[in-house]
Chain A
Amino acid sequence: MPETTVILDATAIQRALTRIAHEIAERNEVGDDVVLIGIPIGGDHLAARLAKVLAGIWNHAVPVGILDVNMHRDDLDQRAAPTIHPTVIPFDVTGKTVVLVDDVLFSGRTTRAAMDALNDFGRPKKIQLAVLIDRGHRDLPIRADFVGKNAPTALDEKISLRLTEAGAAQDEALLLKP
């Protein structure tokens, strides 16, 4: 049986998102051209939550998109074909500050794929990266602009984020040891 530790509970997740939202607001003072784009699975729900908090700070709605990056991955022939989720970007990203939102930052390959995929939709002015958990072990020179929690992990461990939007009983981030 894998050993399971809760690294973030529901309160900690919401607190982390609130802090990230304030950091985004601080970094991008004129909030008008900031859009959030979440990477499924996980990042899409987090982006929607961040948008809600940011709308409260800026007093206007913040556009949210969903970007599936699987067609841009670099390991497609090394694993079973991934499940592709719908990409929904109902706005033009050209000239915008895009905050990519992901649940866990690990190798950095998903982020690279996301930046590639985003290029097909336009030319953002800036791309920033917000992640709930940074677990280390980067393969690429990528770092997050906004991090909810730094969680040192071993390579063979897994992090599982469960959110109520995805049917979980309560929000929690779990560390699974093999």
Chain B
Amino acid sequence: MKWTRKHLLDIESLSADEITIVLDTARAFKAVGQRAIKKVPALRGKTIVNLFVEPSTRTRISFELAEQRLSADIINFSTEASSFKKGETLKDTALNLQALNADFIVIRHSASGAPHFLSRVLDAHVINAGDGAHEHPTQALLDTFTVRERKGKIAGLNVTILGDILYSRVARSNIWALTKLGAKVTLCGPSTLVPKTFEQMGCRVTYDVDEAIRDADIINLLRIQHERQRKTMFPSIGEYTQLFGLNKARLAKTKPDALVMHPGPINRGVEIDSEIADCDRSLILEQVTNGLAVRMAVLFLLNGGKGPQGVAGN
């Protein structure tokens, strides 16, 4: 099977085979990162705009480096230094960028669906780098890549996602990717942040953290997204840490080969104990390394032209 999509907007619309193509391609790009010369000419002459309308460090830097390692020319665009402040709409900003012959637009936006909207009005390839609480597809791809690399498979694994699920695009994208690839996903956190409606996505919801992580092969921790919560969702951070924070005592009651992940930024002492973030069961920094390879793979695949069957676009 060949990759034929023009955009990467979400995981929901991808098939398990398409996710696997990205993961397989990312493996080759991870090897490129281990060479003396880490740059390949695959996107030479292409222009990529990183349109980050919502703050980001990790994802933006990872995309930038991925683009540079593929030899693309890049423009970085952030809210602080843009005409959004002067009242320009997203569509007009994007059309202006397209008028400069941008080939790719990587967009991070606080509004869900912003990348989908751009994909309809632009000719350029659009990559979703996180849209509101909707999806963060490259994060889910790098998480599944990391799991597959460490565990050798995805199907049949127990993955527990613990924390603020309601406001997390990382959770949504991960749930789609993991369930499509055959993992069993358990969600846990304060009941206000983990509504039962998530069971419709094919996962199990529980509010007992020790039970949630007991049989887990992977524990993926999520930060509390204070910036998206319009009202108080639980009494206090201290109580959250006590009830749901991953500490040594809790980790000791899990399977000995259970691994800990976190998409970052981590809040040490809140959702994760400092000691655990730095222990050898933590994959947090590996996720960052793999994110680069996965983003190179996504850019490389999207850059492909029409397939032999003439299929293109989403």
A contact set with B: CB distance below 8 Å: 68, 71-73, 76-87, 116-117, 120-121
Do A68 and B28 form a contact, CB below 8 Å, given A80-B307, A120-B40?
Answer: yes
Check if B31 sits within 8 Å of A77, measured CB to CB: no
Q: How far is the CA of A3 from the CA of B309 in the complex (A)?
A: 22
* Contacts between the two chains (Cβ within 8 Å), count: 68
Task: Show 19 residue pairs from A and B whose CB-CB distance is below 8 angstroms, ordered by the A residue.
Answer: A71-B300, A72-B41, A72-B42, A76-B43, A76-B304, A76-B305, A77-B304, A78-B305, A79-B304, A79-B308, A81-B2, A81-B3, A81-B300, A81-B304, A83-B2, A83-B24, A84-B300, A85-B28, A87-B31
Q: How far is the CA of A78 from the CA of B308 in the complex (A)?
A: 10
Q: How far is the CA of A120 from the CA of B31 in the complex (A)?
A: 13
Partner of A76, one of B303, B306, B308: B303
Residue numbers in A under 8 Å from B29 (CB-CB): 84
B contact set with A: CB distance below 8 Å: 2-4, 24-25, 27-29, 31-32, 35-37, 39-43, 46, 300-308
Do A80 and B4 form a contact, CB below 8 Å, given A71-B32, A85-B28, A86-B28?
Answer: yes
Partner of A84, one of B2, B25, B302, B306: B25
Q: How far is the CA of A76 from the CA of B300 in the complex (A)?
A: 9
Supplied contacts A72-B41, A76-B303, A86-B31, 12 more A-B pairs, CB within 8 Å: A71-B40, A73-B42, A77-B46, A77-B303, A77-B304, A80-B307, A81-B300, A83-B25, A84-B24, A84-B25, A87-B31, A120-B36
Q: How far is the CA of A50 from the CA of B305 in the complex (A)?
A: 36
Whole-angstrom distance between the Cβ of B41 and the nearest chain A Cβ? 6
Check if B305 sits within 8 Å of A79, measured CB to CB: yes
Q: Interface residues of B: mostly helix, strand, loop or mixed?
A: loop
Whole-angstrom distance between the Cβ of A49 and the nearest chain B Cβ? 24
Q: How far is the CA of A71 from the CA of B2 in the complex (A)?
A: 16
Q: How far is the CA of A52 from the CA of B202 in the complex (A)?
A: 53
Residue numbers in A under 8 Å from B304 (CB-CB): 76-77, 79-82
Residue numbers in B under 8 Å from A117 (CB-CB): 40
Nearest 10 pairs of A and B residues by beta carbon: A81-B304, A80-B307, A71-B40, A84-B28, A80-B2, A120-B37, A81-B301, A71-B42, A78-B305, A80-B304
Residue numbers in B under 8 Å from A86 (CB-CB): 27-28, 31
Check if B27 sits within 8 Å of A80, measured CB to CB: no
Check if A71 sits within 8 Å of B41, measured CB to CB: yes
Chain B CB within 10 A, most for which of A68, A81, A83, A121: A81
Q: How far is the CA of A116 from the CA of B40 in the complex (A)?
A: 10
Do A80 and B32 form a contact, CB below 8 Å, given A71-B42, A71-B300?
Answer: no
Q: How far is the CA of A13 from the CA of B43 in the complex (A)?
A: 37
Chain A CB within 10 A, most for which of B3, B24, B305: B305
